[in-house]
């Protein structure tokens, strides 16, 4: 039997995309007013699973406050083997 | 944000379409309805997994324009609850709500669409009021078999969705209250034990009708606006309750790791969950980035199962009082890459023993939040259902199957601030019954020889973890077995607030050539020397004596993917022990002495783990035990210095 120390493969990660100041402004965020002391570098865009299913959020990383929540695909990142099959 | 309690009557009525009292009555009534559906199913179920395990759950969801809020769940299998709001949304959106009619039932069992495993079929009934879709009643109920290469399905060795079992995309099962024969044929041409499945499905259908009827009676009495408002109100209450609970935790970043031993191919890969929890004000984010890729066999969990584990953990730890609805997730975001062993993808990431992988998710949340919770921290449980699945043939050729009856499915919980832990329950994510020994033995050629607690296995603490359970089962015919103890390398019974971890469990099989129990009319003992004659199935064991040894070698559960045994073989399961709470040195000597009297702790264990010196004979004269208080003070002083 092998010893207990077995290798753990490198894990997978969700990428958190950077967000520009222009993108934040387009979302109606006034950094000075809404997040004093923060810059665009404090925000990230990424998919989350929550109460209502999958959403792509733009979120202030320190306060976890979302400035945008857009509905994502129904199954999020799952690709079914039947996806893309046109039966009609 | 205005609290629900601070809304005045006019604001409340505008938001929820009724007065506060009516909304509360309707929210309570929805819980009554799902419970009634479950009672009906329990009273009439035929298959053992429903009747004896309570392996089902019922929910009510709101209509598509509300985004399918799940407003009530039954007090039953918790592992289903976090998946079912998505199960309804994903199934109905794919099927098309516009294609639904009164009298329909739609089914889906795809783990990637609906969560859980293929045997857990979702039966969804749309509820119409005056031709308008207002709700869904859903029963998810484990079907004894759903095809695949293993009878009854419970195995960690199936390699992909094709071996795993029949996957049913959203499919119409009843139309105009009549069975759709092609859908039944799809199941019955692929599944075993259909003579049991058919009456179970008919029972499920009748209880969907009951749920629908009770909803429509509610609507008739209180009005549809009040009903739809109450659906939202119920979820808003949950959301507010979770928000308030989260606000009470200190802000910060909390991290933990957990995992399982290996998959069903070999023991060369350990699967680890990496969890980073960020908590700010009344919001929380749980990021599972860094988690191991999906396993090569059916020990994986799906994304929705991980969502359930997160919800159960947080309800358990921070918001245990209010009823669970989908609203509990409103202040919580889950960040989860696809393709890990807790977010497996088709066709290779087969999902079956999903709780084995999401149990560590729950445990990781427990570990991560331990410091933030302080006295409110909760010890870990026994960590693996250790499910045993076996089948064979009686002398007359009748096939038999046992599933989740004769392994180590029940065991201890961890201690809390409130007191010692229970020693015989089901893992935190479940909420099931324990199949009666008499029921098992009346239906399966098996004899349950032992169900007993293992002394000194509890995590020591001011409050003690539950004791590990040792269970022996004798199989009277030749059989093939799938054993799935997946958390034996490290303690799952995590100690908290200064408490210690529970002991490690293991599994063995005893060949009748070593000990023929019926012939010798004697049980297999529990002394260390008996294990030398066993075949280890799983655990950290001394390779010579084959007794549990945390520093020993790992014995791999699927080294023999299917364990074939002759008549009169005995499987022995020993669960992990539950975690302790608080320093063992703070436990009163009187409580330790009571544990020695009850044989949860030995005299040696009392000295070693608690610093309590006890004299006497626990077995022969349990009431005559004496505490040596002077020696105890001396021993505890020594231990405190260390």
Chain B CB within 8 Å of residue A84 CB: no
* Residues B581, B583, B588: CA angle, nearest 5 degrees: 100
Rounded CA separation B421/B410 (Å): 14
Helix, strand, or coil (residue B568):
coil
**Confidence band (pLDDT; 50, 70, 90) for A2?**
very low
Best A15, A68, A78, A87 member to test B by mutation, with max B CBs in 10 Å, is: A78
Residue B140 host element (H or E): strand B132-142
| Gyration radius of chain B over CA positions | 25
To the nearest 10°, report the CA torsion of B625, B631, B636, B638. -150
Q: What's the mean pLDDT in B137-163?
A: 96
- Residue pair B112/B354 in contact (Cβ under 8 Å)? The answer is no
Which residues, 6 or more positions from A81, have their beta carbon under 8 angstroms from its beta carbon?
Answer: B161, B346, B347
Cβ pair B89:A4 closer than 8 A? no
Residue range A9-52, pLDDT digits in tens: 789 999 999 999 999 999 999 999 999 999 999 999 999 999 99
Q: What's the mean pLDDT in B456-464?
A: 98
**Confidence band (pLDDT; 50, 70, 90) for B420?**
very high
- Residue A5 predicted with pLDDT over 90: no
For tokens 């990660």, the residue is A13
Which of B281, B329, B343 lies nearest to residue A51, judging by beta carbons?
B329
Residue B626 host element (H or E): strand B626-627
Q: Is B520 exposed, middle or buried (0-12, 13-18, 19+ CB in 10 A)?
A: exposed
The per-residue pLDDT of chain A, averaged, comes to: 92
Chain A neighbors of B90, CB-CB under 8 A: 74-75
**Confidence band (pLDDT; 50, 70, 90) for A3?**
very low
Q: What's the mean pLDDT in B66-93?
A: 95
Q: What's the mean pLDDT in B492-510?
A: 98
- Residue pair B273/B257 in contact (Cβ under 8 Å)? The answer is yes
Rounded CA separation B276/B383 (Å): 21
**Per-residue pLDDT, B52:** 85
Q: Which residue has the higher pLDDT, B153 or A9?
A: B153
Q: What's the mean pLDDT in B53-64?
A: 96
Longest Cα–Cα distance in chain B: 80
- Distances from the Cα of B85 to the Cαs of A53, B235, B564, in angstroms? 9, 12, 41
- Residue pair B249/B333 in contact (Cβ under 8 Å)? The answer is no
Which of B94, B278, B543 lies nearest to residue A64, judging by beta carbons?
B278
Lowest-pLDDT choice from B43-52, B127-136, B586-595: B43-52
Q: What's the mean pLDDT in B302-314?
A: 98
Cis peptide before B487 (omega within 30 of 0): no
**Per-residue pLDDT, B313:** 97
* Residues B55, B59, B63: CA angle, nearest 5 degrees: 150
Chain B neighbors of A59, CB-CB under 8 A: 285, 333
Q: What share of chain A is helix, strand, coil (3-state, %, to 5)?
A: 15, 30, 55
Name the residue in chain A with its Cα closest to that of B342.
A12
Give the CA count within 13 Å in the CB-facing half-sphere of B409: 22
**Per-residue pLDDT, A84:** 86
- Residue B295 predicted with pLDDT over 50: yes
- Residue B299 predicted with pLDDT over 70: yes
Complex-level ipTM: 0.94
Chain B neighbors of A6, CB-CB under 8 A: 262, 267-270
Q: Report the gap between the CA of B67 and the closest CA in chain A (Å).
A: 7
Q: What's the mean pLDDT in B361-374?
A: 97
Q: What's the mean pLDDT in B582-593?
A: 98
Chain A neighbors of B169, CB-CB under 8 A: 82
- Residue B51 predicted with pLDDT over 90: no
Residue range B517-556, pLDDT digits in tens: 999 999 999 999 999 999 999 999 999 999 999 999 999 9
Best B282, B333, B557 member to test A by mutation, with max A CBs in 10 Å, is: B333
Helix, strand, or coil (residue B627):
strand
Chain B CB within 8 Å of residue A14 CB: yes
* String of DSSP letters for B262-284: --SS-SS--EEEEEEEEEETTEE
**Confidence band (pLDDT; 50, 70, 90) for B448?**
very high
Chain B CB within 8 Å of residue A65 CB: yes
Q: Report the gap between the CA of B266 and the closest CA in chain A (Å).
A: 10
Longest Cα–Cα distance in chain A: 62
Rounded CA separation B197/B48 (Å): 11
- pTM listed for this prediction: 0.96
Residue range B277-294, pLDDT digits in tens: 999 999 999 999 999 999
* String of DSSP letters for B448-509: EEEEEEPTT-SPPSSBPPPPPEEEEEEESS-EEEEEE----SS-SS--BTTPPPPPP-EEEE
**Per-residue pLDDT, B277:** 98
Chain B neighbors of A3, CB-CB under 8 A: 553-554
- Residue pair B616/B624 in contact (Cβ under 8 Å)? The answer is yes
Which of A9, A53, A78 lies nearest to residue B269, judging by beta carbons?
A9
For chain B, first and last CA: distance in Å? 51
The per-residue pLDDT of chain B, averaged, comes to: 96
**Per-residue pLDDT, A6:** 67
- Residue pair B278/B285 in contact (Cβ under 8 Å)? The answer is yes
Best A10, A11, A43, A60 member to test B by mutation, with max B CBs in 10 Å, is: A11
* Residues B223, B229, B230: CA angle, nearest 5 degrees: 90
Cβ pair B89:A53 closer than 8 A? yes
Cβ pair A13:B290 closer than 8 A? yes
- Residue B7 predicted with pLDDT over 80: yes
- Residue B264 predicted with pLDDT over 70: yes
Which of B67, B110, B259 lies nearest to residue A52, judging by beta carbons?
B67
Rounded CA separation B517/B567 (Å): 11
Two tokens at B499? 């408490």
**Per-residue pLDDT, B76:** 87
Q: Report the gap between the CA of B161 and the closest CA in chain A (Å).
A: 10
Which of A1, A11, A75 lies nearest to residue B90, judging by beta carbons?
A75
Rounded CA separation B93/B253 (Å): 36
Residue B125 host element (H or E): strand B120-129
Q: What's the mean pLDDT in B14-21?
A: 97
- Residue pair B544/B530 in contact (Cβ under 8 Å)? The answer is no
Helix, strand, or coil (residue B541):
strand
- Residue A76 predicted with pLDDT over 70: yes
Which of A51, A61, A81 lies nearest to residue B327, judging by beta carbons?
A51
**Per-residue pLDDT, B625:** 98
- Residue A1 predicted with pLDDT over 80: no
- Residue B59 predicted with pLDDT over 60: yes
- Residue B612 predicted with pLDDT over 90: yes
């Amino acid at each position: 039997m092998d010893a207990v120390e077995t290798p753990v493969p490198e894990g997978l990660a969700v990428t958190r995309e950077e967000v520009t100041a222009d993108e934040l402004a387009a979302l109606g965020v006034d950094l000075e007013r809404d997040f004093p002391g923060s810059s665009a570098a404090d925000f990230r865009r990424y998919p989350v699973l929550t109460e209502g299913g999958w959403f792509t959020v733009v979120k202030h990383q320190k306060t976890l406050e979302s400035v945008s929540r857009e509905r994502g695909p129904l199954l999020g990142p799952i690709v079914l083997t039947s996806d893309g099959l046109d039966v009609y | 944000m205005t609290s629900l309690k601070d809304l005045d009557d006019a604001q409340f009525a505008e938001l929820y379409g009724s007065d506060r009292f009516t909304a509360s009555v309707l929210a309570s009534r929805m819980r009554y309805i799902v419970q009634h559906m479950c009672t009906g199913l329990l009273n009439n179920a035929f298959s053992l997994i429903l009747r004896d395990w309570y392996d089902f759950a019922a929910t009510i969801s709101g209509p598509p324009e509300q985004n399918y809020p799940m407003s009530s769940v039954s007090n039953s299998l918790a592992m289903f609850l976090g998946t079912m709001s998505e199960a309804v949304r994903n199934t109905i959106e794919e099927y098309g709500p516009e294609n639904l009619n009164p009298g329909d039932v739609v089914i889906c069992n795809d783990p990637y669409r609906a969560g859980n495993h293929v045997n857990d079929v979702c039966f969804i009934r749309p509820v119409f009021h005056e031709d308008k879709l207002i709700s869904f009643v859903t029963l998810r109920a484990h079907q004894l078999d759903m095809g695949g290469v293993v009878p009854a399905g419970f195995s960690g060795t199936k390699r992909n969705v094709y071996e795993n079992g029949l996957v049913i995309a959203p499919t119409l099962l009843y139309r105009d209250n009549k069975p759709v024969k092609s859908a039944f044929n799809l199941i019955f041409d692929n599944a075993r034990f259909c003579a049991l499945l058919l009456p179970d499905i008919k029972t499920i259908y009748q209880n969907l009708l009951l749920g629908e009827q009770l909803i429509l009676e509610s609507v008739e009495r209180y009005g549809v606006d009040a009903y739809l408002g109450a659906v939202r109100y119920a979820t808003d209450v949950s959301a507010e309750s979770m928000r308030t609970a989260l606000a009470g935790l200190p802000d910060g970043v909390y991290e933990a790791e957990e995992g399982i031993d290996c998959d069903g191919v070999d023991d060369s890969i350990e699967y680890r969950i990496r969890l980073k929890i960020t908590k700010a004000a009344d919001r929380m984010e749980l990021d599972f980035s860094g988690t191991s890729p999906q396993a090569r066999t059916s020990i994986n969990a799906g994304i929705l199962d991980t969502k359930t584990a997160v919800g159960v953990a947080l309800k358990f730890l921070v918001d245990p009082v209010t009823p669970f609805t989908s609203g509990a997730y409103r202040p919580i975001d889950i960040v989860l890459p696809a393709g890990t062993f807790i977010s497996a993808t088709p066709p290779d990431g087969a999902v079956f023993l999903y709780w084995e992988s999401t149990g560590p998710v729950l445990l990781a949340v427990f570990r991560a939040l331990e410091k933030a919770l302080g006295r409110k921290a909760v010890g870990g449980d026994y960590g693996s259902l250790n499910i045993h699945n076996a089948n064979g043939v009686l002398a007359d050729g009748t096939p038999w199957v046992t599933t989740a009856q004769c392994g180590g499915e029940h065991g201890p919980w961890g201690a809390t601030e409130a007191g010692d832990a229970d020693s015989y329950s089901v893992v935190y994510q479940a909420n099931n019954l324990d199949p009666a020994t008499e029921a098992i033995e009346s239906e399966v050629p098996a004899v349950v020889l032992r169900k007993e607690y293992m002394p000194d296995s509890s995590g020591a603490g001011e409050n003690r973890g539950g004791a590990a359970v040792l269970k022996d089962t004798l199989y009277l015919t030749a059989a093939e077995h799938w054993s799935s103890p997946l958390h034996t390398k490290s303690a799952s019974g995590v100690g908290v607030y200064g408490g210690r971890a529970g002991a490690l469990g293991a599994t063995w099989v005893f060949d009748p050539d070593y000990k023929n129990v019926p012939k010798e009319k004697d049980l297999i003992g529990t002394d260390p020397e008996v294990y030398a004659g066993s075949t280890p199935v799983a655990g950290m064991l001394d390779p010579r004596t084959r007794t549990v040894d945390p520093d020993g070698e790992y014995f791999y559960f699927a080294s023999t993917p299917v364990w074939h045994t002759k008549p009169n073989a005995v499987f022995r399961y020993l669960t992990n022990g539950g975690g302790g709470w608080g320093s063992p040195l703070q436990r009163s000597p009187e409580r330790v002495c009571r544990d020695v009297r009850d044989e949860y702790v030995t005299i040696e264990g009392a000295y070693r783990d608690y610093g309590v010196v006890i004299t006497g004979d626990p077995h022969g004269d349990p009431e005559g035990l004496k505490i040596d208080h002077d020696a105890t003070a001396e021993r505890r002083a020594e231990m405190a210095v260390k």
